[in-house]
Amino acid sequence: MNMLAPQSTFVEAAASRPLVRIVIVGHVDHGKSTLIGRLLHETGSLPDGKLDTLKAVSARRGMPFEWSFLLDALQTERDQGITLDTSQIRFRTRTRDIVLIDAPGHAEFLRNMITGASQADAALLLIDAAEGVRDQTRRHGYLLHLLGIRQVAVVINKMDRVGFDQGRFHAIEAEIVGHLAGFGLTPTAVIPISARNGDGVASVTPPIAWHAGPTVLDVLDRFSAAKPATDLALRIPVQAVYKFDERRIVAGRIEAGRVSVGDEVVVMPRGTRARISSIEAWPVPNESQAPRAASAGQSVGLVFDEDIFVDRGDLIAATAAPAAAAQRLRARVFWLHETPLAVGAALTVRVGMAESRGTVALIDNAVDPGQLSASGDGRINQNSVGEIEIALAKPIAADLYADSPRTGRLVLELSGRIAGGGLVLSLETAATPARDAAPSLAALEALAQRLNAELRTLPPAGRIRRFREAVEGRIVFTTSFGLEDQAIAHLVAETGVDVEVATLDAGRLFPQTYEVWAATEQRYGLRVRAFYPDHDDLEALVAKQGINGFYDSKDARAACCHVRKVAPLNRALAGARGWIVGLRADQSAFRGEGGIVSVDAERGALKLSPLFDWTREKVAAFAGAHNVPINSLHAQGFASIGCAPCTRAISPGEPERAGRWWWEQEGKSECGLHARLR
């Protein structure tokens, strides 16, 4: 046991030493393990005899001793000489307790590098003097920036391999300083070292006498721990509301600012206001010791003076500087999933404790930060970065990264697994549209009102033409090849307007539907763009509820509709400003509430129902007169046709949509495309 080793004079007393977490990154084989081994030795952190034992073993085996053997001897999960996952090693310098986070240098393990680096206060970026700046050097540098790490020292290693050449050092220094400056990062220091020989690690040795300092240990002693953002406006993401007793305690960690009993706060995204009546804690021996104030970094429990609605995902904010209720986010993101991120991708977006489904509406500047040029195919590949705009299914509270970093960054989840993250560059609320973004809700409503008045007197073809003129941006016509949709397909083809035709292939459609789909493409010479369910989501759904589980409960049915229809629709409509559908007012009471043109507030789009005021008979007559291909099931008593297991024929006199999810006793017979199921 080494626990009773004599007291070292190297360190100061424990209480006065700050704890600093430092990640060590860089290209694979540029010497991270060697530097760590050397640092452990130079700081006297190795157990007695460890070094001698390893040296003896190496000598016995006729191998030159390598400092990296030390790390190998400390780690069990090593393979092919590369660190698979982040590890952590603790040691002490003169003035600091250091947690050294050893991040893998191999590109394949970038997710592990990010996991490790995200915990760090500062970083050492290691470069091999012989190899120079490589792709992982650049990639890691950029990711340090995206992770918000501002203290970075560049360590140029293996100077012995280039004869301690000062010119070589300065060339690499210029290249890496230029690269880091590209995203506003200035290194704390650039240090020439030979980790193997010890030059530059603890002291400036004769071979690098031209270096004015500092050494690696000097910079470790200068790095400071990140401080909680107590000076920013108050932000407390709500983790939960507890009602264990008569108190209703709102629990969360203060990410920024301070809060005191009596303060008025605003709960976003709804904007409800309330006052803090108490800050709860346990154990509290008596009332006079109950906390009156708290600040960033603390996990707290708050009680409000009024019984306002608060739930997990809400953000408690300062009334003077509230967070936004974001409907759409623009973010600079890194992407770690093997499936490239593309426009139309449906993801879960998390900001603080808030989460929403979101659809990628736009991708800009996709680039592999390891390479020097852009990828150019409009997708963000694994381990690459880019800027995205993401339309959220519901508003969530968020900040700009520049205003409040901890509530201004987001995490992207694909199929329940974290797949990327990024910084919020700009955002859009329903009330305040960003530049070049969707029109405001008020503007949409005004336009809808105007168009409704205008279109009432026009025939359906005229309505489609006028809609095309009035809406700026993409318009998508979604068809399920029912009678109305077929009439609209005919009109779209006839008018020749620039409208995309899309369908949602849920995978459970009638064979007759596929027949009329093919017939439609042939008749009008167009290709209908099909959107399919996400395979991960669908596989999970079927695993959970079985292949026909939708008959079991309304929730199960809604879950099925969501995966098979609503999510694909969201992708079909991502970024669209106009949406054409086959709704008619007399289909159901619910559908009669809309108009020829209505506003889809969630998507920031206008919805046109060109046949809104037509009857079914009128549509049928139109189709017959123009020889429009129609689904043969209509002749067998099917009125509204959806997925095969969930649609049956109706009897004369039954409501038109009575054949949809007929076994459900109540509800609106909607899958959620036109009304969100709650």
Window 142-181: residues binding another protein (CB under 8 A): 147
Site string for another protein, 118-147 (x = CB under 8 A): xx---------------------------x
Please give the order of strands across the beta sheet that includes 151-157.
Answer: 87-92, 97-102, 19-26, 122-128, 151-157, 189-192
Q: Which residues contact 349 (CB under 8 A, 6 or more apart)?
A: 329, 355, 356, 357, 358, 390, 392, 396, 410, 411, 412, 413
Q: How far is the CB of 352 from another protein (least distance, A)?
A: 9
182 touching another protein, by CB under 8 A: no
Q: How far is the CB of 261 from another protein (least distance, A)?
A: 16
Q: Which is nearer to another protein, 38 or 660 (CB)?
A: 38
Q: Distance between CA 248 and CA 405 in Å, rounded?
A: 29
Q: Which is nearer to another protein, 324 or 419 (CB)?
A: 419
- Binding residue for another protein (CB under 8 A) from 9, 14, 625, 665? 14
Site string for another protein, 488-507 (x = CB under 8 A): --------------------
- Binding residue for another protein (CB under 8 A) from 98, 114, 318, 366? 114
The two beta strands, 315-318 and 235-242, are antiparallel
Q: How far is the CB of 388 from another protein (least distance, A)?
A: 17
Q: Distance between CA 568 and CA 503 in Å, rounded?
A: 9
- How many other CB atoms sit within 10 Å of the CB of residue 63? 10
Q: Give the tokens for residue 467.
A: 């809609």
Q: Which H or E run includes 118? A: none
- How many other CB atoms sit within 10 Å of the CB of residue 416? 10
Q: Are 677 and 561 in contact (CB under 8 A)?
A: yes
Q: How far is the CB of 226 from another protein (least distance, A)?
A: 11
Q: How far is the CB of 13 from another protein (least distance, A)?
A: 8
Tell me which residues in 261-280 interact with another protein (CB under 8 A). Answer: 280
- Type of residue found at 279: I
- Binding residue for another protein (CB under 8 A) from 185, 216, 249, 438? 249
248 touching another protein, by CB under 8 A: no
7 touching another protein, by CB under 8 A: yes
The DSSP secondary-structure symbol of 433 reads P
621 touching another protein, by CB under 8 A: no
- Binding residue for another protein (CB under 8 A) from 299, 365, 548, 615? 299
Q: Distance between CA 506 and CA 275 in Å, rounded?
A: 49
301 touching another protein, by CB under 8 A: yes
Q: Which residues contact 199 (CB under 8 A, 6 or more apart)?
A: 159, 160, 164, 192, 193, 205, 207, 208
Q: How far is the CB of 458 from another protein (least distance, A)?
A: 49
The DSSP secondary-structure symbol of 105 reads -
- How much is the CA Rg of the chain, to the nearest whole Å? 31
**Residue 273, helix vs strand vs coil:** strand
**Residue 412, helix vs strand vs coil:** strand
421 touching another protein, by CB under 8 A: yes
Q: Which H or E run includes 360? A: strand 354-367
Looking at 174-182, 417-425, 438-446, 518-526, which segment touches another protein (CB under 8 A)?
A: 417-425
The DSSP secondary-structure symbol of 657 reads G
411 touching another protein, by CB under 8 A: yes
Tell me which residues in 28-87 interact with another protein (CB under 8 A). Answer: 44-48, 50, 53-54, 57-58, 61, 63, 69, 72-78, 81, 84-87
- Binding residue for another protein (CB under 8 A) from 206, 212, 244, 496? 244
- Binding residue for another protein (CB under 8 A) from 184, 186, 206, 282? 282
Q: Give the tokens for residue 284.
A: 């509290």
- Partners of 476 in beta bridges: 500, 579
> 435-454: string of b/e by CB count within 10 Å (b at 16+)?
eebbbbbeebeebbeebeeb
Q: What is the total count of residues that contact another protein (CB under 8 A)?
A: 79
543 touching another protein, by CB under 8 A: yes
Tell me which residues in 216-235 interact with another protein (CB under 8 A). Answer: 228
Q: Which is nearer to another protein, 79 or 436 (CB)?
A: 79
Q: Which residues contact 543 (CB under 8 A, 6 or more apart)?
A: none
- Binding residue for another protein (CB under 8 A) from 178, 213, 262, 297? 297
**Residue 321, helix vs strand vs coil:** coil
Q: Are 143 and 183 in contact (CB under 8 A)?
A: no
Half-sphere exposure of 212 (CA within 13 A, CB side): 1
Q: How far from each other are the two terminal CA atoms of the chain, in whole angstroms? A: 61
212 touching another protein, by CB under 8 A: no
With tokens 């336009």, the residue in question is 447
The DSSP secondary-structure symbol of 185 reads -
Residue 1: exposed, middle, or buried by beta-carbon count in 10 A (0-12, 13-18, 19+)?
exposed
Q: Which is nearer to another protein, 58 or 440 (CB)?
A: 58
Q: How far is the CB of 368 from another protein (least distance, A)?
A: 18
- How many other CB atoms sit within 10 Å of the CB of residue 553? 12
Q: Which is nearer to another protein, 1 or 212 (CB)?
A: 1
- Binding residue for another protein (CB under 8 A) from 41, 106, 161, 312? 312
Q: Which is nearer to another protein, 303 or 649 (CB)?
A: 303
Question: What's the full length of the chain, in residues?
Answer: 678
638 touching another protein, by CB under 8 A: no
Tell me which residues in 570-609 interact with another protein (CB under 8 A). Answer: none
- Binding residue for another protein (CB under 8 A) from 89, 261, 441, 644? 89
Q: How far is the CB of 114 from another protein (least distance, A)?
A: 6
Q: Which is nearer to another protein, 228 or 482 (CB)?
A: 228
289 touching another protein, by CB under 8 A: no
Q: How far is the CB of 76 from another protein (least distance, A)?
A: 5
Q: Which is nearer to another protein, 421 or 433 (CB)?
A: 421
Q: Which is nearer to another protein, 90 or 529 (CB)?
A: 90
Tell me which residues in 315-354 interact with another protein (CB under 8 A). Answer: 336, 350, 353
Q: How far is the CB of 675 from another protein (least distance, A)?
A: 27
- Binding residue for another protein (CB under 8 A) from 283, 376, 511, 652? 283
559 touching another protein, by CB under 8 A: no
- Binding residue for another protein (CB under 8 A) from 95, 188, 197, 239? 239
Please give the order of strands across the beta sheet that includes 475-479.
Answer: 529-531, 500-504, 475-479, 578-580, 605-608, 597-600
Q: Are 643 and 614 in contact (CB under 8 A)?
A: no
2 touching another protein, by CB under 8 A: yes
Q: Which is nearer to another protein, 244 or 309 (CB)?
A: 244
Looking at 106-114, 483-491, 493-501, 632-640, which segment touches another protein (CB under 8 A)?
A: 106-114
